[in-house]
Structure 1
């Protein structure tokens, strides 16, 4: 019996973090539409599989990760070469060559002569959509919302405070987060603290200083389904420039995001009253440094508390609506 032909496949490389994945959703959706008859395979860290599948733009995942933002090996790709390979990882030869080594029938990458120039001043969502449009693939950077999670929120209507970040340069001091937590609790708001893997000590310290009970601490890195439901059902998300801020945007949940050293012009939320980006301009810094960036440290506690309370005053539930539903309606 003749085996069934292998379905055509598109391999997309974006083996980065949660925020990078969510910023790439408009480009992934454009690829899904342009190659409707293909199987879309996304190469990214295996811990992001559930998040990737939740976008509706990806059929399956090729586990691929490397330290930092390095390019992972794709040598474990199986079967025939990809019909199309698309580099959404970066603009260097390393990611281009990792895909080219699989001998795809068609390769799209910034590091090829027929691609548009890399513009470092472009927002991440805009950059990749412009890249695809230059190759004849319509893409809309506003197409970034995720479907409503099926799971219920573990803390409906809570203010979610996330003090962690992947690098120290993007981590606002824990004692300042604690001061904001105290302010929010004093104003009568239900606060929940979250942290990623390896951030338990930070979250516990913020909780203790902020007078937060253990019942309001969700440390240890929630599974994506629970984290997504938590953010979707929140009245507000307060965080630094990290994946949770992008998740709030993806669910239309109000947010206050503290930026530094990277400008919100490059990685921030779309314009609109639902998302406040706090940022102090200054000389460029290292987004992967170990110590808090000078621009980030210039954001004061009172400023953050005031921004959160302003956002929460805009959330006025009507009959039969939760605070989170009211927030998305404005």
Structure 2
């Protein structure tokens, strides 16, 4: 870490939270190249935007000491190589910033969730906190590192979500699937780890007679390639939908339980659809963000 002190970003959120932090991570990356950004979090996600040598697994045993009050000599020697640590979390454990502050010269805690009642987008809220700390430069999301060629694969339907109240009902998912097939789209049904067996079974029953390819819990790099290659993406309010939008896929994202003014996906061709209009929405791929 020779040259200007490097910055260590520590991200404790889920996939959607991580993608919404990309503009803030881009702002942290806007300094001199020698002041490189390093990222502690989910390594498979982090490697989408940073080289592997600057990515650290938050589940690795060597980092357990971050959450302890006692010093950890080996860990603290590693932390001492950073000039700044930035914690991305809605409510980080108190031990984490306390441990960092003993070793790292500058420690910032970024609240990833705007206060209740504040209708400011979560990405803008995070960037604003960095601006108020004096950071200038562009807040552009980092470039996604996809090594393999992107192939167009038709339409992708991802009805699930980690929040059950955000999921598309099996009936709505089936209506959208039949409309996509009627318009001539090859269809991929994407299911993730949050979809329990009962929901999956209800989806399969509702989709009886619809031709589709089922993809369940793909690795993140395969998921990203599929999303980037979709001619149209349709999904619930989920981390996968945030990733699809950020990758530039033409995306229609159905919101049922969250405020899209705060949590809507960001992307050049992303459009939010309110639940009551979802069954009838135009399936023309969005060309500009609405």
State how many pairs are aligned. Answer: 269
Gaps of 5+ in 2: none
* Alignment match, 2:128: 130
* SS at 2:96 equivalent: helix
Q: Deviations over 1:248-267 (max 9, x none)?
A: 22121111111132111001
Per-residue CA distance 1:89-142 (angstroms, 9 max, x = gap) = 13x4x456512313211112258xxxxx9684321110111111111212545x
Partner of 1:165: helix, strand, or coil? coil
Q: Specify the alignment match of 2:249 in structure 1.
A: 253
Whether contact under 8 Å (1:40, 1:58) holds in the other structure is no
Q: Does 1:212 align with 2:204?
A: no
Which residue in 2 is equivalent to 1:322?
Answer: none
Q: Provide closer, same or farther for how the CA distance between residues 73 and 170 of structure 1 changes in structure 2, counting only shifts above 3 A.
A: farther
| Mean CA deviation greater in 201-210 or 12-21 | 201-210
Inter-partner Cα distance in structure 1 for 2:282 and 2:222? 23
Structure 1, residues 276-327: CA drift from partner, whole Å, max 9, x if none?
2123xxxxxxxxxxxxxxxxxxx24xx3243252x24x6xxxxxxxxxxxx6
Normalising by structure 1, report the TM-score.
0.70
Alpha-carbon distance between aligned partners in 2 of 1:137 and 1:246, rounded to the nearest angstrom:
25
| 1:275 counterpart residue number | 270
- Distance in 2 (alpha carbons) for counterparts of 1:31 and 1:257: 28
Offset at residue 59 of structure 1 (A): 5.0
Q: Which has the higher strand share?
A: 2
- Aligned counterpart, 1:168: 164
Unaligned stretches of 5+ in structure 1?
66-71, 112-116, 280-298, 315-326
Task: Give 3-state SS (helix, strand or coil) of 1:26's partner.
Answer: helix
1:199 offset after TM fit, Å?
A: 2.6
Determine if the alignment matches structure 1 residue 41 to structure 2 residue 44: no
| Superposition deviation, residue 191 in structure 1 | 1.0
Which residue of structure 2 lines up, in the alignment, with residue 236 of structure 1? 232
Alpha-carbon RMSD across the aligned residues, in angstroms, is 3.2
User: What CA deviation, in whole Å up to 9, does each residue of 1:156-215 have, x standing for no partner?
Assistant: 2411100110111211212210121112112221111001125373345424422334x6
Identify the range of structure 1 (186-195 vs 80-89) with the bigger mean alpha-carbon deviation: 80-89
Q: Give the equivalent residue in structure 2 for 1:55.
A: 49
**SS across alignment from 2:223:** helix
Name the CA distance, whole Å, in 1 between partners of 2:149 and 2:94: 41
User: Which aligned pairs between 1:276-291 and structure 2 lie closer than 5 A?
Assistant: 276-279=271-274
For residues 148 and 13 of structure 1, the distance between their equivalents in structure 2, rounded to whole angstroms, comes to 20
Task: Find 1:183's aligned residue among 173, 179, 182.
Answer: 179
Corresponding residue for 2:77?
A: 79
